[in-house]
Amino acid sequence: MKEYIANIEEETRKNEDYRRVLYTGRYTQLVVMSLQPGVEIGNEIHGLDQFIRVEEGEAKVILNNGEVEKNIKGEWAVIIPAGTWHNVINAGKKPLKLYTLYSPPAHLKDVVEATKADEKEEHFDGQTDE
């Protein structure tokens, strides 16, 4: 077993990449993200649960195709149950810094996407850090 131990607040705040997978286990994946002003993750749906915590910045979270809209900021969190359409938009003037936990993993191990334009359609292939 390979553990992951770090100051997640520090790791999240110093991250400059749109998406960076920090740890991939069999049942959970830890990802840090940095969204520039106006950038959005895009409306998506997963067959897994997702936890998002904002460390810095301001975000608009949209769930169920607009049925729920909530403005959140640093130190706020949202849990998105499997099967829920969702989008996160940087609604501020500074980078939005967040981390997310996917249960089970959603992305390939060790993925780094510097910008939203670098985002690729890829899915977890079973490779873990364990």
CA nearest 14: which of 81, 95, 72? 95
Q: What is the mean pLDDT of the chain?
A: 96
The pTM of this model reads 0.94
pLDDT at residue 1 in the model: 64
pLDDT at residue 2 in the model: 87
Judged by phi (left if over 0) then psi (alpha if -120 to 50, else beta), residue 26 lies in alpha
Range 90-119 average pLDDT: 96
Q: In the CATH hierarchy, which fold is given to the domain comprising 8-110?
A: Jelly Rolls (2.60.120)
